[in-house]
Chain A
Amino acid sequence: MEAKTLFDKIWDSHVVDSVKNGPDILYIDQHFIHEVTSPQAFTGIEKRGVPLFRPQKTLATADHNIPTQNQELPIREKLSQIQVKTLTDNCEKHGVQLFGLGHPHNGIVHVIGAELGVTQPGMTIVCGDSHTSTHGAFGSIAFGIGTSEVEMVFASQCVLQPKPKKMRINIEGKLNKGVTSKDIILYIISQISASGATGYFVEYAGSAIRSLSMDARMTICNMSIEMGARGGMIAPDKVTFDYLKDREYAPKGADWDKAVEKWKALKTDEDAVFDREININAADIQPMITYGTNPGMGTFIDGKIPELEDIIPESRESFQKALNYMDFTPGMELAGHPVDYVFLGSCTNGRIEDIRAFTSLVKGRKKAENITAWIVPGSKQVEKQARDEGLLEILEEAGFQLRQPGCSACLAMNEDKIPSGKYAVSTSNRNFEGRQGPGSRTLLASPLTAAAAAVTGKITNPADLID
């Protein structure tokens, strides 16, 4: 038999039919929806007069524009309120399970899918949100889709997709002090650029990847889209199975054993061929931070912003434009630059391990005077766990508060907006102009680096603060 990649195995087993000279009809095992990209899709199928084909394969949550304070009260912002209400009505009408505001399972769509055990190896998963790639950490094919495609899934449980090319990124070796999975992915993107993987589906492999927890693997797959990739994935292994065991929606008893047997076969065959392979030495990676307005514009915290001459000529104008926006200059050192805001959260770094990492660094220290910090758990469950583990007390002791879960300042659709001109060290995934509020200046980094900034008030290499 022909050697296949993990990606091929899952993709090929979900092709219902292929259009000649066109896309494949891909069957979708699990569909997630949220309030922002679903209303027009519901209206669409209603106008056509077709029902939801498989409502039990869609799961809904409200996350993008909900407030992170006083969630018990009615949403103040009118349009957000309408959008959340529309989602609730639509789910009721069409028989879709909804974990709405206040539900103990509520949270950011990509955080809850995993923690509930809905996301499982070998699945095809889509959601009207580009960071759906997060779920690939379990060895599934997961990717973001547009609203027209959400409507396709509603109507047929399928999407039309051309099969992407395949890339493998191997990271071998041991990670340096202070380096987390966020630094790995920021490093990769800085090496291959924000469009370097466009048209590809990426598999992450190698000993450094194997050594990571599920939470850390999700951070990596999450940001695959930031280098243009359709998605990212990691072959499931014991870490994956241990994480999933006994989760609410995971198979139980004999079904569990059967499932694990099947999942164990989900790996790339030894001599399978990729369209592109990249090898990275883990030892080359240091704690990272971005300085520009796309996630590819990143560097070591102890490094410098490139000089104009280091940038290829056709990109110089964009580079200069980004630095103007950030009020930075070429060749400048980043460490020591003052910071105004710190945001810990999002589907990239809003899981329990991220809060643990942040807490471990701020423990015994105090929040810097000049810092406003927003610590936003990714879900109700993460919030509860942070309390149960006593993290909340440590945070409060250091001068921080925990907010209620949601996407929050990751895209600033709710009230959590970084003011114009202010610098925010953010654990989210996009540093686009205005992403965190009009005029906001985002520096993407890991939870450890966010914590280091939160206690020192400036850009600081977390390796300097941990033993």
Chain B
Amino acid sequence: MPIEKFNILESTCVPLPMQNIDTDQIIPARFLKATSREGFGENLFRDWRFDKNGNPKPDFALNRPGYSGKILVGGKNFGSGSSREHAAWAIYDYGFRVVVSSFFADIFKNNALNNGLLPVQVSEDFLKKIFTEVDKNPKITLKVDLENQEISLQSTGDTFHFEINAYKKSCLLNGYDDIDFLLSKKEKILAFEQLQNKT
């Protein structure tokens, strides 16, 4: 299935200035029982967002009326823990298209990219600046330009050049899908198997 194309996004953001936001917080295991990909957004950050009785916790960023937008900004080591792709699905399903952090866990990064969710890794300083600016004014926007690999804080003009694997970048820009790509390599895979059987 092709993923959604991504090029430029300008949006307000939701700040979660915590380190080590792990996949068990993003989507707790008890909500992994669905057999389709949709609907996980409902339980995104379930135990931070809602209390025991299912009432929203007013302090949590996603519940604060001031914060909105398609960009989630988290602290260092975002997405550590399990390989559950449900974490990326939940963030995407909720409506986010970009996650910004100063460091991502490997599997989460892959999962995000495979689902059209762009992980943008920035410096510790740049991350701090975002948090400070959003704290001052929740309405400020971030602009993410994938083609030029730039993220900028519109209120201050600060810009950061982020890294992304060239292959993954072109996948996202074109809405291209890994599985179609692998299927196009069948010949090579068959040849590899033959060689492997011989040795």
Contacts and interface: CB of A to CB of B under 8 A. Distances in A.
A25 B19 contact: no
Given A22-B165, A27-B192, A156-B189, A194 B35 contact: no
A144 B83 contact: yes
Interface string A28-45: 000000001101100110
Contacts of A152: 178-179, 182
A83 B105 contact: no
A107 to B, nearest CB: 19
Given A27-B189, A318-B20, A413-B30, A147 B85 contact: yes
A50 interface: yes
Interface string A144-155: 111111011001
Contacts of B22: 294, 430, 432
Q: Of A36, A39, A146, A156, which is in contact with the most chain B CB atoms at under 10 Å from its CB?
A: A146
Contact of B36 (A43, A132, A157, A317): A43
B179 A65 contact: no
A230 B82 CA distance: 11
A228 B105 contact: yes
Q: Of A65, A195, A199, which is in contact with the most chain B CB atoms at under 10 Å from its CB?
A: A195
A278 B88 CA distance: 33
B33 A194 contact: no
Interface residues of B, number: 54
Contacts of B111: 146-148
Contacts of B20: 194-195, 293-294, 318
A433 interface: yes
B47 A434 contact: yes
A129 B185 contact: no
B175 interface: no
B132 to A, nearest CB: 14
A130 B29 CA distance: 14
B189 to A, nearest CB: 6
Contact of B85 (A19, A148, A228, A317): A148
Nearest to A200: B106
A164 to B, nearest CB: 8
Interface in B85-140: 85-86, 88, 103, 105-107, 110-111, 114-115, 124
B39 to A, nearest CB: 12
B37 interface: yes
B25 interface: yes
A294 B186 CA distance: 42
Contacts of A433: 24-25, 47
Nearest to B88: A146
Interface string B165-191: 111100000000011011101101100
A128 interface: yes
A450 B179 CA distance: 44
Contacts of A435: 24, 29
Contacts of A36: 32-33, 84
A79 to B, nearest CB: 4
Contacts of A228: 77, 80, 105-106
A113 to B, nearest CB: 16
Nearest to A407: B29
A338 B179 CA distance: 51
B52 interface: yes
Nearest to A144: B83
Given A83-B33, A144-B107, A195-B103, A128 B83 contact: yes
A228 B178 CA distance: 24
A413 B165 contact: no
Contact of A155 (B36, B110, B183): B183
A93 B47 CA distance: 37
A164 B106 CA distance: 10
Contacts of A144: 82-83, 107
A145 B24 CA distance: 16
18 contacts: A16-B192, A27-B189, A36-B32, A40-B37, A44-B1, A129-B82, A130-B107, A144-B83, A148-B179, A149-B110, A194-B20, A195-B77, A195-B105, A198-B77, A317-B18, A420-B52, A432-B22, A438-B28
Interface of B: 1, 18-20, 22, 24-25, 28-30, 32-37, 47, 52, 75-77, 80-86, 88, 103, 105-107, 110-111, 114-115, 124, 165-168, 178-179, 181-183, 185-186, 188-189, 192-193, 196
Task: List the 6 closest A-B pairs by CB distance, nearest first.
Answer: A22-B167, A79-B33, A146-B85, A39-B35, A146-B111, A148-B114
